[in-house]
Amino acid sequence: ASLRHLPWEGGKTAHQAAPDRESRGGSEHPTHSSVSPVRCGINELQNRILPDMQGWAWHDVTGWAWGMGFFALIWYCFAPVIHFEHNKRGLPLKNFLFVPVLLASAMLASQAQSAGETSFRVDKIGAGSACRIVAVNRTVAPVTVAVKVTAGVHQHRPGQVRSLRAVIEPNSTREITRIQTKDHREPCRGEMTYTHSVGDAFAAPDLRHRYRLPFRKGTIVRVAQEPGGVLTTHKDDLSRYAFDLAVPEGTPVLAARAGSVIEIRDTFSEGRRDPKLAEKTNFVSIIHTDGTFAQYAHLTPHSILVRPGEWVEAGQMIGKSGNTGFAGGPHLHFDLRRARIGADGTVKQESLPLSFFSQRSGKKITLTQRKRITVD
């Protein structure tokens, strides 16, 4: 198996720096906006009756929204009035059936819009001679960010680069720094770049944690790839200590350690030895209390049982194994990662070593390539 950036990891280059967000109406807070009561009502209803939609791909939601909207239009325009009983006011019943269909379409469109929004960003906010660098984290996990700000010509020490690092808590907004020009008549200018990754780069990982095998008792597992094995595709920093555990498609996959779900993908169906499919892998990512996070990848489409923000216990079923993405056969790709700040000052992800232990005897399980074991 070959995985790339799972889950999200990235940043903005100098040419992609976040644009200035001019404050209006005296407010510079990036998360405050004017929302109509109708939109609020739709969001409230959506949060109550459609919680599972958090795991949908945005393009699936958009398709449903367009489809239901089109159906509502056809229904309203062409449904024969003669086939419907009239209410006391003489209005055709189709008008009333049109409303819930349109409402459901609006709910789906609202979900699609929110799903398409950037989950993490860093903005330069302000007008005039002062501005703030603000990080916005709309995810359910902490995010480590490294920001570089280059002073503009009208600022103190023009051309000076300031490197700033911070951990932004889930669903929060945090001011990282402020920029002030020497002359209040000059605009606040400067170049800003940033890199980020899920996880807390300053937390100490528990490398002695005893992981359980992510399968039910009695499951026969063949080790397809092991860390440092002779034949391996796990050669980069993201997967150096990963395991590929071959099991039949549809095998229940359990959490190897308790934690909180931070991301899932559940809609891809293709799977073969094709690097173009590396980003089309179904997976679950779970963050642990020490800031590390585990990847369970190549899962069967529409088999994932957990959602972002949900806490799972060790041994809880989270989905079923499959063969999606860049894969040479049915198996589960499992790896442990953490966020770190590299020597160049950018935020990266790195693979971490881990050990599995027997649930029955408590002894360490040695996983070597081509070895077959039965989960106890």
3-state DSSP of 49-73: HCHHHHHCCHHHHHHHHHHHHHHHH
How much is the pLDDT for 179? 79
Tens digit of each residue's pLDDT (9 = 90 or more) over 183-226: 666 667 667 899 999 999 999 999 999 999 999 999 999 999 88
How much is the pLDDT for 320? 97
**How many CB atoms neighbour CB 36 within 10 A?**
8
Residue that the structure tokens 């050669």 belong to: 235
How much is the pLDDT for 238? 84
How much is the pLDDT for 318? 98
Q: What is the DSSP letter of 184?
A: T
Q: How far is CA 173 from the centre of its chain?
A: 17
- 68 and 99 in contact (C-beta within 8 Å)? no
How much is the pLDDT for 230? 72
How much is the pLDDT for 97? 55
How many angstroms separate the CA atoms of 58 and 117, rounded? 10
pLDDT < 50 stretches in the chain: 2, 4-8, 13-61, 81-88, 90-91, 93-94, 111-117, 153-154
How much is the pLDDT for 57? 42
Long-range contacts at 39-44 (CB < 8 A, ≥ 24 apart): 39/110, 42/103, 42/106, 42/107, 42/110, 43/110
Q: What is the DSSP letter of 37?
A: H
Q: How far is CA 209 from the centre of its chain?
A: 25
Tokens (6 digits) for 13: 């280059």
How much is the pLDDT for 17? 36
How much is the pLDDT for 168? 96
How much is the pLDDT for 79? 55
